[in-house]
Structure 1
């Protein structure tokens, strides 16, 4: 579609991922114009969004007032909070704003009926579209298997393993308040708090996404979680993790048909640099294995660079960039999509806008 003006975008949340979205738009996307920002901190309220992300002022001030955001004239909202709110998302859609998010709604067909109906009605009211596109769950457990399936004749099993140590990730609100690392292992369950329940639903939803798009016709999805204790005390961004408290979480989400596992997502998450000896030992990052005709395997690991020296901070930031870019690069496609839900299987192939930069 030929556009006569930039796409008007609102940034919702300016944490690690949100900051990468904003700086990308300012530095690399002349086709996108930032027209508003929703923040959660009183200290950011009224501050120019350029200053919030370490750039010059751009004449757009951030606000904590959702009503102000709803009143803005915008084409799309980049919705990137750590904790989602369905009421806010429905209000945005009903106001006529498309929503692209790395946070949830990867497979709306498998969310609770009442939630799906609310979202659909909001989309219809506003003539808007919503697209969910995370990393994992998200692209690595959705787009990547679909892309590789194009080289398959038949598929017997899909397995994605994620191995990651969270020690250098500064989003301690998620690590400790959400994931409950540092708590007694017997307290941490898939439904122990709102965030863990939400995370469980996302991976279950993602398992069904692969089943529904690749004709697995699974019967159910099982969820298991093994928590392992820290062997010593250590400190992480001001949080003291005691020996015996949770320092490792192994999640398994398995989609079965006739009792056989056809789809499995396994996460092997640790803090403190310890790794249980009895756990599987895939490479750090994500390993996708497809058993079938033919069988294939690929490994994904984002870094700041594989050819130059880079700091640990740069490497950690690289992960945030991967999450942000898959949503920012999808903005035009989401705006062009019909009103309603646009999943990773519905949109065209999302590629880099800037690429090598030679336009």
Structure 2
């Protein structure tokens, strides 16, 4: 019998999740949670850019009789997650909880108790933080006799990402240089997710990480730029170079680095990996893998389709994890705990 699933959030990732769930032979979409009254009553298939499927969106969604919730809101809520888990629905999320055991103790304990109360599991996944930043390094490490250092790098230009609310409001591109640091609202939350990723790699590979540090350098825009209909002014933040390091006895053994710009050339002192994601393991043997998501490597398609491919990959990583998460013991289930999420055709 197909597992009953609620899709929570219908943004770029949520819309792709709806498409995936509807087309999956072992899943049944039974509810869709939205935050905007403009979307209430609209068929989920239409919200995902397709034909009606007979499931309409609502602001209040009951999760008591469902197997899983694919939780993909823009701003996650521990209160929501606790209520979902305690209701008896497993929770797979692309929004947070990549390594719940390393979350703030208060949130961690509430989520763990909700899993106990509902006999449910919590699983966080995505791309980076997520599959490309955790599962790929873990898979490569399986070919090692010794691992000395792991580096995950992401290089991306956000000027083609058609979500100005995230680019400007959450990530603070376009803000005054002197107002942006690692503790700025929005950025602090993003940083915490990447810190969890570093802890997860360290814990899963028993690398003895005892501290995670965070560094951020921002650069200004050299000119005014139109970004999907919104102007990023010269002199405001147009680039962010983040580095999260997992230290063992003061020496880095794991580094997660992001090099994000919005139409601005990188400064010469920044690292210059290829665009996409690069994983490098120094050890015995040493290995490197570079990964990209595109709509196609063969067909000539619009840029928007290539940009959208990252949302497809994020959503499908979560959707394909629903079955294993539903079968997992109650509690926290990380990307290091689950079997590989396989495409079944």
Please indicate the TM-score interval, normalised by the length of the shorter structure: over 0.9
**Pairwise CA distance, 1:273:** 4.3
- Please give the alpha-carbon distance, in whole angstroms, between the structure 2 residues aligned to 1:88 and 1:246: 33
Aligned partners of 2:214 and 2:242 also within 8 Å: yes
Q: Equivalent residue for 1:38?
A: 33
Unaligned runs of 5+ in 1: 355-359
Aligned to 2:5, which of 4, 9, 12? Answer: 9
Aligned to 1:232, which of 215, 220, 223? Answer: 223
- Please give the alpha-carbon distance, in whole angstroms, between the structure 2 residues aligned to 1:273 and 1:331: 39
TM-score for the superposition, normalised by structure 2: 0.98
| 1:72-91 alignment, distance < 5 Å | 73-91=65-83
| 1:193-204 alignment, distance < 5 Å | 193=185, 195-204=186-195
Aligned partners of 1:99 and 1:129 also within 8 Å: yes
Aligned partners of 1:254 and 1:261 also within 8 Å: yes
- Please give the alpha-carbon distance, in whole angstroms, between the structure 2 residues aligned to 1:242 and 1:175: 14
| 1:1-359 alignment, distance < 5 Å | 5-26=1-22, 28-65=23-60, 68-70=61-63, 73-193=65-185, 195-354=186-345
Aligned partners of 1:230 and 1:244 also within 8 Å: yes
**Pairwise CA distance, 1:88:** 0.4
- Please give the alpha-carbon distance, in whole angstroms, between the structure 1 residues aligned to 2:116 and 2:212: 31
**Pairwise CA distance, 1:307:** 1.3
**Pairwise CA distance, 1:82:** 1.3
Aligned partners of 1:104 and 1:134 also within 8 Å: no
**Pairwise CA distance, 1:12:** 0.3
- Please give the alpha-carbon distance, in whole angstroms, between the structure 2 residues aligned to 1:56 and 1:254: 46
Aligned partners of 2:160 and 2:307 also within 8 Å: yes
**Pairwise CA distance, 1:70:** 3.6
- Please give the alpha-carbon distance, in whole angstroms, between the structure 2 residues aligned to 1:34 and 1:273: 41
Residues 89-110 of structure 1 deviation map (CA, whole Å, 9 limit, x = unaligned): 1000010000101111111111
- Please give the alpha-carbon distance, in whole angstroms, between the structure 1 residues aligned to 2:6 and 2:323: 14
Aligned partners of 2:36 and 2:59 also within 8 Å: yes
- Please give the alpha-carbon distance, in whole angstroms, between the structure 1 residues aligned to 2:335 and 2:47: 31
Aligned partners of 1:37 and 1:69 also within 8 Å: no
More divergent stretch after superposition (217-226 vs 294-303): 217-226
Residues 151-190 of structure 1 deviation map (CA, whole Å, 9 limit, x = unaligned): 0000000001110001111121111111100011221111
Q: How many residues align?
A: 345
Aligned partners of 1:169 and 1:316 also within 8 Å: yes
Residues 219-246 of structure 1 deviation map (CA, whole Å, 9 limit, x = unaligned): 2111110000000011112211111100
Aligned partners of 1:19 and 1:53 also within 8 Å: yes
- Please give the alpha-carbon distance, in whole angstroms, between the structure 1 residues aligned to 2:224 and 2:160: 16
User: What's the RMSD between the two structures over aligned residues?
Assistant: 1.1
More divergent stretch after superposition (141-150 vs 274-283): 274-283
**Pairwise CA distance, 1:144:** 0.8
- Please give the alpha-carbon distance, in whole angstroms, between the structure 1 residues aligned to 2:66 and 2:163: 29
- Please give the alpha-carbon distance, in whole angstroms, between the structure 2 residues aligned to 1:24 and 1:92: 21
- Please give the alpha-carbon distance, in whole angstroms, between the structure 2 residues aligned to 1:285 and 1:225: 19
Residues 236-287 of structure 1 deviation map (CA, whole Å, 9 limit, x = unaligned): 1221111110000000001111221110001000002422222111100011
Secondary structure of the corresponding residue to residue 181 of structure 2: coil
Secondary structure of the corresponding residue to residue 147 of structure 1: helix
- Please give the alpha-carbon distance, in whole angstroms, between the structure 1 residues aligned to 2:280 and 2:122: 30
